Every structure is written in structure tokens, then in C-alpha cells.
Amino acid sequence: MAYYYLEIIRGQEIGRRHLLKEGAITVGRSSKNMICINSVERTVSNHHAIIYKYGDSISIQDIGSTNGTYKNGTRLSEEAESLGHNDEISFGEKGPKIKLIISQTELSTTPRLKPGESQTSPGRLVSKNDETERSFRTGLEYDQNENSDALFPTRNRHSRKSECDFGYHTMELENKILNKRLSADEMNKLMKQGDRVDKIIQKGNLSETQVHFLHTSYNAQKKLKTKSATILCIVALVSLTLITFFTVRMFQYKAIVNDAVSSEKNLDKYETDISNAKKRGASEATLEELVAKFEEERDRFNSLKSNLRDKDVKRFYEDTVEFYIAEIMGRLGETDYHIPKEMVLRVKHHIGVYTGSLKPVIARYLERKKLYFPMILRIFKDKKVPLELAYVAMLESGFNPNALSHAGARGLWQFMPKTGRSYNLRVDEVMDERTNPEKATYAAAEYFLDLIGIFGGQSSMMLAMAAYNAGEGRVMGALRKIEDPVKNRDFWYIYNMGYLAEETNEYIPRVLAMMIIDQHAEQYGFKAQLPLDRNDRDNLTKENDFIPVPVHKAE
């Protein structure tokens, strides 16, 4: 089994490895990405690139980053580029760099130590002999059996030491020094009493070497004490500054969180107002005014949310389904959006249907997916089509290449005859290549590329999915109704304004519902199945059991 890693070789956290998992992986500084680059790397955009891993195939696609994405020193276009072992990717020409590693063994993801760093065990214990050597280099030896406490008795709380006591203990210490019997503990206490040191030296009984040693030791102790006090003051000042800084930041962060919570509530209110206005048949001007307020608040909310930690971002998703939708939006490259409550409710509704009365049908969809999904992903990757769009075939035909709708749409991708011919599929009395899974998938890839080219920009993937159902003419007609097409040319605007047909508004939630069920199959009661044998394969393509989807594509 091969393991695929991205290793940081330039920038922050050099040596850290990220294990690549199946699917689309977003990269950037924003916390919403699956691989988050350190926020100090200013050459990296919030949403910089997407890495695709499907089986043993790895590719990367720049998603309109400010400073570009470079593969082995060459700047990439916005089309996906394949990656191989040891290929180097930099985010910005001089920005952080990563390398793809393909290993047959599992590697550590912990950053390697920088040059000069070392991992040391706690410091070794200092022996008494070591301490003796350090403290008495003049030849004075320790006598560890002496009771030093007898030389320095505790002061009586109600009286001062007498001169007699002071003199007696000073004399005892002097004798110990002369006879080389002073312990380390006694020496340490003596160095804290300058008047006693002066008294011993003034008596003149010590050798020149011993006097020099006492002077040196006492002055060193005094300097150390002064230095320690200075360091303590500096540490206290720095600590106070840091505490103040982080306290202020904590309050600022809480204010951002509270502001984001308030903004989220405002968005819910605007959505309710828009929904009510549509129900009572409000004028287009009224709807546009409400949507404008909604989008202004949405931009503010997204700006606040970008500054929040992941655990705090999740609190804005009321349930698991809403969070799953947000994950899908991220993989589709959506950044500036707010998932309408109505959209969440419709996705949940379809999940309920697909896991309820239609569960046997969806189970067959998932079985057929094993037959055709690898082929679809291979072709989409080859044609540079976003891989998430492969799920359109699940809704259109249930991955049944023989599916035939009442309107005449046929095959894995439910092409109408005229549309199929326009994408080089032979459709006549002798042959119908719409039922050829591979040829039909190549045609679908070309169709999606044309739709993305038409609706490029914000929400192009969502608009492309809507156009696949309704036809590009109807979606373009909806976009023409927008008063400010430069600012508001996205799916969410025409969804909120109600410019699309009801069937198309339902098409997107149905695709999302199937994506969520497939990606979380066990959670929704679909157990993992064994690989299909030949008889299973034949039986699965006989039944025309797909769920019909209203077709509006122009002939």
C-alpha cells in the first residue's frame, strides 16, 4: 500500500508532513481549508489551491490565488496539473514550498528538528564530588557529615542576636575554612552574609588564596543576586505585558465571536423576510432591496468568520447536514456564501426520502457507482472537470447507462438526442452512443466545460449544475434579470430572488443529498458491500429504476 504525503520543505514548520486522503483537498491560509498554511505566510492566499487525490493519481489546481502556484519552478495555469513523486509545489514564487512524497511505508508527520537543535533528557544529577570541585577550587574540602544548621541557628522572634553569638559563629566558620571542613551548604549560607565574610578576612588568619577565593565567591554571589533580581523584574514586566495583551485579544476575539453570532441571526432574519416576500408576491424591487441587505450582511459575516478558530466556526452550523453542505461548498471553491435555511431544509428532505421509501433504489445507485465512478473520475480528471460534478450522473440516471426518460433523455448522463449529437455522439436508428458509458462521459465532460466557460466566476460550479438540468438558456435568462450582474452574478443571488424554475431549485438540493449520502453511507444506513461479480453487473444495468428528473434542456 502506498502512502502519499505533502512535506513542507520551505517556510514555517519545515519537515511537517500532511497525509493525503481521498478526494479534493483545499490548501490556503484560511482555517476553512483542509490543509492550513501558517498564517504568517503572506504570499499564500486564503484559498490558494485544490489538490485532488483519487487512487494513485494526484493533481493540483490553482484557484485564482494572488501570487500563483508553482510546480518545479513553473507557474501553473488555472487548469489542474498532475503531480509525481518528489514534485515540488510553491505557493507564490518565493513562498512556502511543499514536496509530494510517495512512500511504501507510513512516515512520521512530526516536523524534523532544525540544524543545531537536539532532544535532551532532563539534566543529569550533579554529584557531591562535582559540587565540591566547583565550590572549593582552592583546596577547601566538604565535610558532609557536619551539621551546618548548628552554625546558623534560627533567630528568636522576640530578640536580636548578641554580638557574642555572632563572634562565636564567625570563629567556628573561620576554623572550618582553615581546616578545610566547610560544607557546601555552610559555604552557601556564608556567601549571603557579607558582614561575617568581612569579619573572617579582617582577622588575617586565612591564606592569600583563601581570602581571594572568599572575595571572588562573595562578589559573584552578589552579582548573581543583582542579576537575578533584574531578570525577575524583566520576566515580571514581560509577563504582565503578555497577560495584558492576551487578555485584550481574548476580549477582542469574544467580541468578534459575539458579532458573528449576531450577524448570523441577522442573516436568518433576512432570509425569512425574503421568503415571506416571495410568498406574498412582493415586487422585484422589494426583493432586490432585501437581497442587497442580505448580501451586505453576508459579506460582513464571512469576514468575521474568517477570523475564527475552526471549533468556533462549527457552532454556526446548526446540524450535521448543514456542516456537510459547507464542506461540499468548500471543495467546489465557494467562499463568499451563506447556506440558505431553505436549501438546508430541502437537502434534509431529500435525504429523508432517499433513506426512507427510496432506500432500495439508492442502494442500487451506490452499487452501480462502483462500476462507473472510477471511469467518470478518470475522464473528468483528464478533461480538467471538477470531480464533484460526477455526482450529477447519480441523480440523472442512477449510474444506469440504459436509463430512458419519458422525455427521451437517455444514458448515464441523460442526453437528449440533439444535445448528444452536438457533442459528437451518434444517435440514430442504427446506433445510440448515449448508452455507451465512456463516450457519453466524454461528451458530458465537454458539456460541463462549456457551461463553466459560460458561467465562469463566482458560483460557476453551482450555475453549471443548474444549467445541466434547465439548459444554459434558462440560467442565462435568470442572470439577465440581475440589476448589477458584475456584483451579483452568482447562483445564490438568483436562488434567493426566485429567478429559476422550482424544478431547478430542487435539482441542486437533490444532487447535494446524494453526495452526502454517498460520502457518509454508513451513517445513513447503507452498509459497505462486497465487490460485484459478473452476474451482479449484468443485473444492475437491466432495470430502468432511476428517479426521473424533469428535463428542460433545449432541443
Q: Assess whether 354 and 435 both reside in one domain.
A: yes
User: How far from 305 is each of 37, 251, 264, 336, 536, CA to CA, in Å?
Assistant: 17, 16, 10, 11, 48
Residue where a domain stops, chosen among 223, 247, 271: 247
What is the structure's pLDDT at 149? 39
Kindly state the DSSP code that residue 404 receives in the 8-state scheme: B
Share in percent of the chain as helix, strand, coil (round to 5): 50, 10, 40
Number of alpha carbons in the 13 Å side-chain half-sphere of residue 445: 19
What is the structure's pLDDT at 144? 35
Q: Assess whether 325 and 241 both reside in one domain.
A: no
CA distance 387 to 365: 18
Using 70 as the pLDDT threshold, list the residues of the chain that sit under it: 111-168, 318, 334-337, 457-459, 483-489, 528-555
Kindly state the DSSP code that residue 59 receives in the 8-state scheme: E
Q: Please check whether residue 338 is in contact with residue 274, taking contact to mean a CB–CB distance below 8 angstroms.
A: no
User: How far from 366 is each of 11, 354, 370, 372, 411, CA to CA, in Å?
Assistant: 43, 12, 7, 10, 17
Length in residues, the chain: 555
Residue where a domain stops, chosen among 103, 120, 144: 103
What is the structure's pLDDT at 145? 36
Residue 401 lies in a domain: yes
Residue 333 lies in a domain: yes
Residue 471 exposed, middle or buried by CB count within 10 Å (0-12, 13-18, 19+): buried
The count of other CB atoms within 10 Å of the CB of residue 231 is 10
Residue 286 lies in a domain: no
> What's the domain range around 412?
317-541
Overall number of domains in the chain: 3
CA distance 304 to 313: 10
Q: What is the pLDDT of residues 261-308, one digit of tens each?
A: 888 888 888 888 887 887 888 888 888 888 888 888 888 888 887 788
CA distance 49 to 39: 15
What is the Cα 206 distance to its own chain's centre? 71
Q: What is the pLDDT of residues 202-258, one digit of tens each?
A: 878 888 888 887 877 778 777 777 777 888 888 888 888 888 888 888 888 888 888
Residue 110: beta bridge partners? Answer: none
Q: Assess whether 80 and 208 both reside in one domain.
A: no
Question: For residue 40, what is the domain's CATH number?
Answer: 2.60.200.20
Q: Cell numbers of 17, please? A: 508532513
Q: Assess whether 483 and 375 both reside in one domain.
A: yes
Residue where a domain stops, chosen among 247, 267, 299: 247
